[in-house]
């Protein structure tokens, strides 16, 4: 065992410094500082180099965590970067926004008794250092191949697939209906979790490696899917899930009740310097308002914290279950509480009040009942427990479902699962349409960036196998 490792016994866990809440509320900059070089090395040295590393087993990318921690502890950062980037297209992004407490770090063996190795912060540090030192080189295929592949969707699934396919020499074109590359990394996730520059430098990196981007290209809208299919030898669908789950009840149609993603896209565009009329008009701007966000997932957490930074008068999160049973990351709840968000647990909206626009939410208290077939406790309203919350802006953050792709693409043969996601053959990522593959949230349902990267990587490998098989079949004829 290297002398550098196993320091967890004597060295306590140290996370990168977090900015004070009062300071964070004033801007949209990231809230965690970068590790200082010494801290990164010493924190990496806390790893006990497990024979069976449960951190890696529970990382969706099976990252070779103990080895790059050891290299970091030894100061061999360029090698650490090479190793971490071999399995992860965007280590610096995962290091920032993976829910590590549920994945790698939550399963680190020294978590029991000592606190886990700060894997995410080291992963981020290694790749940020690689960018600063010029170690991140453009993709350089060993040879060019003539097959051309279209990827629809420039989110993490599409971009991870683009990296891997281009690395094999394919001619890759990524189409997206937005004007920037990144999908939810740019337009969903706020800058205080992931600064936009981090995503935009990856856009340039992919372009430098020969990946082509066609933006403002709404496939199924202005550009028919059939035309795109005819242009390319294979297509990968990585379009994500965007149909917002809605809420009914009296007053649900009142102005001032908005969808989470509309609110977040507006805020992100404003931060990117775009002209955003709905922000300027106040329609999608929390400034000076009493804001109620409905939901308990990561999207809801991003909305409450965005509203705080837009200088809302008050921000309340209404969630029908309790803190222990919410889907969002507890780390983000803590951050939101520090920043001044009020959480009203075990409460659900009953009606939205107001004349020509929303002015209040009437909510009812809930209690948790017996577990259902899935093991999750049911929630039931408590009779006579209604209460009213003042609200000039209500943000619905109840999750997302897939859009109707067969309808949008005019491809009735594109088969769906019972959840409305795209049906793919296990292992091959191929949909019911020959030569059309799919990956990311559109297959998995709303998930995580790290899973999208994994799917993109695996779908690229499946597409490569598809072409190799076709070549073998041709050669045998
Ligand atoms: P997306 O990122 O959604 O990308 C799909 C792309 O396809 C988009 O750019 C879209 O414009 C494009 N597209 C769709 N239809 C068409 C069409 N017809 N023509 C052309 N282009 C099209 N995950 C985490 O791990 N950590 C987090 O902190 C986190 N926070 C989140 C916060 C919010 C607000 C949201 C909504 C999600 C968050 N997630 C988080 C989840 C994560 O962002 C997604 O799981 C991930 O982005 C899915 O990747 P994807 O590539 O499948 O899809
Ligand atoms: Fe942990 Fe995510 Fe990095 Fe995997 S990709 S090591 S889960 S932070
Ligand atoms: Fe190191 Fe923890 Fe992974 Fe073990 S589980 S190899 S201690 S990071």
Q: How many angstroms separate the alpha carbon of residue 66 from the centre of ligand 3?
A: 6
Q: How many angstroms separate the alpha carbon of residue 95 from the centre of ligand 2?
A: 6
Instruction: Spell out which residues line ligand 2, taking CB within 6 angstroms.
Output: 59, 61, 63, 65, 88, 94-95, 98, 100, 103-104, 119-120, 123, 450
The residue whose CA has the least distance to atom 5 of ligand 3 is 108
List of domains in the chain: 7-132 (1.10.1060.10), 148-241+402-476 (3.50.50.60), 252-260+269-399 (3.50.50.60)
Are the CB atoms for 65 and 53 separated by under 8 Å?
yes
pLDDT at 263: 98
Judge if the beta carbon of residue 440 lies within 6 A of ligand 3: no
The residue whose CA has the least distance to atom 5 of ligand 2 is 94
Are the CB atoms for 254 and 277 separated by under 8 Å?
no
Are the CB atoms for 48 and 112 separated by under 8 Å?
no
Q: How many angstroms separate the alpha carbon of residue 105 from the centre of ligand 3?
A: 8
Q: Which 3 state secondary structure label does DSSP give 375?
A: coil
Mutate to test the pocket of ligand 1, among 184, 194, 223, 454 (most ligand atoms within 8 A of CB): 184
Q: Which 3 state secondary structure label does DSSP give 317?
A: strand
* pTM exceeding the 0.85 threshold for the entire prediction: yes
Instruction: Spell out which residues line ligand 1, taking CB within 6 angstroms.
Output: 97-98, 152-158, 175-178, 183-184, 188-189, 193, 217-220, 238-240, 264, 298-299, 302, 440-441, 447-450, 452
- Residues of the chain scoring pLDDT < 50: 1
Ligand showing the shortest atom-to-Cα distance for residue 303 = 1
pLDDT at 3: 62
pLDDT at 116: 92
Q: Which segments of 75-202 are extended strands (E)? A: 148-152, 171-175
pLDDT at 375: 77
Are the CB atoms for 159 and 89 separated by under 8 Å?
yes
pLDDT at 111: 67
Q: How many angstroms separate the alpha carbon of residue 241 from the centre of ligand 1?
A: 7
d(CA 204, CA 227): 27
For residue 126, what are its two tokens? 């290694």
Question: What single-letter DSSP state applies at residue 413?
Answer: T
Mutate to test the pocket of ligand 3, among 2, 46, 50 (most ligand atoms within 8 A of CB): 50
pLDDT at 104: 96
Nearest one of 54, 151, 156, 169 to 112, comparing CA atoms: 54
Q: How many angstroms separate the alpha carbon of residue 119 from the centre of ligand 2?
A: 7
């Amino acid at each position: 065992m290297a002398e550098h490792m196993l320091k967890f016994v004597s060295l306590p866990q140290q996370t990168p410094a977090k900015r004070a809440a009062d300071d964070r509320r004033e801007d949209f900059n990231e809230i965690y500082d970068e590790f200082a070089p010494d801290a990164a090395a010493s924190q990496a040295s806390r790893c006990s180099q497990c024979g069976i590393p449960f951190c890696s087993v529970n990382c969706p990318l099976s990252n070779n965590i103990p080895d790059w921690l050891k290299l970091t502890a030894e100061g061999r950062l360029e090698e650490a970067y090479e190793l971490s980037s071999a399995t992860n297209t965007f280590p610096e992004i995962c290091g920032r926004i993976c829910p590590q407490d549920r994945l790698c770090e939550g399963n680190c063996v020294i978590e029991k008794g000592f606190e886990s190795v700060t894997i995410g912060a080291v992963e981020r540090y290694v790749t940020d250092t690689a960018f600063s030192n010029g170690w991140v080189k453009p993709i350089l295929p060993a040879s060019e191949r003539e097959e051309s592949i279209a990827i629809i969707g420039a989110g993490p699934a599409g971009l991870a697939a683009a990296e891997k396919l281009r690395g094999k020499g394919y001619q890759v074109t990524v189409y997206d209906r937005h004007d920037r590359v990144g999908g939810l990394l740019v337009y969903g996730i706020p800058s205080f979790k992931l600064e936009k520059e981090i995503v935009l430098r990856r856009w340039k990196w992919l372009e430098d490696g020969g990946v082509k981007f066609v933006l403002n290209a709404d496939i199924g809208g202005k550009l028919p899917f059939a035309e795109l299919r005819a242009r390319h030898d294979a297509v990968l669908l990585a379009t994500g899930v965007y149909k917002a789950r809605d809420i009914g009840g009296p007053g649900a149609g009142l102005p001032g009740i908005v969808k989470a993603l509309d609110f977040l896209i507006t805020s992100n565009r404003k931060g990117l310097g775009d002209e955003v009329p709905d922000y300027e008009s106040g329609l999608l701007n929390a400034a000076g308002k009493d804001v109620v966000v409905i939901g308990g997932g990561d999207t809801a957490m991003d909305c409450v914290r965005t509203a705080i930074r837009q200088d809302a008068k008050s921000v309340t999160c209404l969630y029908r279950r309790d803190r222990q049973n919410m889907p969002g990351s507890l780390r983000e709840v803590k951050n939101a509480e520090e920043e001044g968000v009020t959480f009203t647990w075990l409460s659900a909206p009953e009606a939205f009040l107001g004349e020509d626009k929303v002015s209040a939410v009437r909510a009812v208290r809930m209690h948790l009942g017996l577990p259902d077939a899935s093991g999750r406790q049911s929630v039931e309203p408590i009779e006579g427990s209604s209460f009213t919350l003042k609200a000039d802006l209500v943000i619905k953050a109840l999750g997302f479902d897939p859009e109707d792709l067969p309808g949008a693409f005019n491809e009735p043969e594109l088969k769906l699962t019972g959840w409305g996601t795209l049906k793919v053959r296990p292992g091959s990522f191929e949909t019911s349409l020959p030569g059309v593959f799919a990956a990311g949230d559109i297959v998995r349902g709303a998930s995580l960036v790290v899973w999208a990267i994994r799917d993109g990587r695996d779908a690229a490998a499946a597409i490569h196998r598809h072409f190799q098989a076709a070549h073998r079949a041709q050669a045998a004829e």
